[in-house]
Amino acid sequence: MALPIDLAGRLFLVCGVARGGIGGATARRIAAAGGTVVGVDQTQEILDATIADIEGASGKCYGVVADVTDPAQTDPIIAGIVERHGRLDGVANVAGGTKEHEWMPLERTPTSQFRETLNLNLEYVFRICRDAAASMIARKVPGSLVNVGSVSALTSAPWHGPYGAAKSGISALTRTMAFEWKEYGIRANTVSPGAVLTERVKARRLVANIESSDDVKFTSVDQLANAIVFLLSDLAAGISGQTLVVDSALSTKFCGGARKTVTAR
């Protein structure tokens, strides 16, 4: 007997939908399950690639160009979706991550960099979820929120401390969302990846060496997308306030993100 995920007739916001990333894979999986996607990313070019993938497979996807770190650009998103489409059933906040120049010891981390990292990986998630939940409550409809965390939040985050702090905040904030909004039928969960081979990660200099190492097991973007779409679906109706680690057992061996090639100086 088949047990399919059926998202037909529902609409989901996905923040961060680059074709080669977790968000792009999530958008494609939602569409494959019959759901309509509204994707948010910082350029039309990024959006167009994922929209083309989904429409080429007979799915529905609409794009919104916005920098998620800018409240002036993100504040109108939820109201705009409801006004245009008449509904919003769930949100996947995937946008985030680290840049190579951020990897440094804490004592050398500028305050400006700390704030920038927290904005990209935590603050915008609060704003999007706040507005989505307020809309669902006002319309008296249930929904599901999935926020992407990281195994860097599980223990420590050597040489990328601000990122680990932000992702720890994701888990704590999402649990609070689950508690406060449960009476309205709104579920909130975190999916925490380990090392994921996105197109952006593949382009980094150290990946070739890491791929050949026994220390790191990479997880695919599709494996992450499957977990996110599961939590968005009715199959996860009894799951809220939880953190699902999807890391191919990376975190069972050592602290995620530890880089032996980085030295404090």
Whether 122 shows a pLDDT value over 60: the answer reads yes
Cβ-proximal residues to 263 (8 Å cutoff; 6+ apart), any chain: none
Look at residue 67 and tell me if it is in a domain.
yes
Residue in 75, 46, 79 with CA at minimum distance from that of residue 63? 46
Asked whether the predicted pLDDT for residue 52 surpasses 80, the reply is: yes
- Of 99-103, 125-129, 202-206, 246-250, highest mean pLDDT: 125-129
Whether 204 shows a pLDDT value over 80: the answer reads: no
Domain assignment of residue 28, yes or no: yes
Domain extent at residue 212: 11-252
pLDDT digits (tens, 9 = 90+) for 131-187: 999 999 999 999 999 999 999 999 899 999 999 999 999 999 999 999 999 999 999
DSSP state of 5: -
Residue 205 pLDDT greater than 60, yes or no? no
CA distances (Å), origin 252, targets 115, 148, 206, 212, 217: 30, 19, 22, 19, 11
Alpha-carbon dihedral sign for residues 100, 191, 208, 211: positive
Q: Which residues pair with 190 in a beta bridge?
A: 147, 243
Question: CA-based angle 122:246:20, to the nearest 5?
Answer: 75
- The crossing angle, in degrees rounded to 10, of helices 111-118 and 161-181 is 40
Chain-centre distance for alpha carbon 187: 15
Side chain identity, residue 120: L
**In which band, very low, low, confident or very high, does the pLDDT at 76 lie, cut at 50, 70 and 90?**
very high
CA separation for the pair 168, 163 (Å, rounded): 9
Cα–Cα distance, 106 to 102 (Å, whole number): 10
| Domain annotation covers residue 139 | yes
Its sign, for the CA torsion 218, 253, 236, 126, is negative
Domain-embedded: residue 4: no
- Residue pLDDT, tens place only, 218-258: 889 999 999 999 999 999 999 999 999 998 888 887 554 44
- Domain assignment present for residue 69? The answer is yes
Whole-number Å distance between alpha carbons of 205 and 154: 26
Q: Predicted confidence band at 206 (pLDDT cuts at 50, 70, 90)? A: low
CB 216 within 8 A of CB 201: no
How does the average pLDDT of the chain come out, rounded?
Answer: 91
Return the ∠ at Cα 155 (arms to 149 and 157), rounded to 5°: 70
Q: What is the CATH number of the domain that holds 176?
A: 3.40.50.720
Residue 107 pLDDT greater than 90, yes or no: yes
Q: Side by side, which strands form the sheet with 11-15?
A: 60-65, 36-41, 11-15, 90-93, 143-148, 186-193, 243-246
Residue 212 has pLDDT above 50, yes or no: no
Query: Letter for the amino acid at 232?
Result: L
Total domains present in the chain: 1
Given this model, what pLDDT does residue 211 score? 52
pLDDT band per the 50, 70, 90 thresholds, residue 198: confident
Any domain includes 151: yes
Question: Closest by alpha carbon to 98, among 68, 74, 121?
Answer: 121
pLDDT of residue 105: 96
pTM: 0.91
Is 258 among the domain residues?
no
Report yes or no on 263 lying in a domain. Answer: no
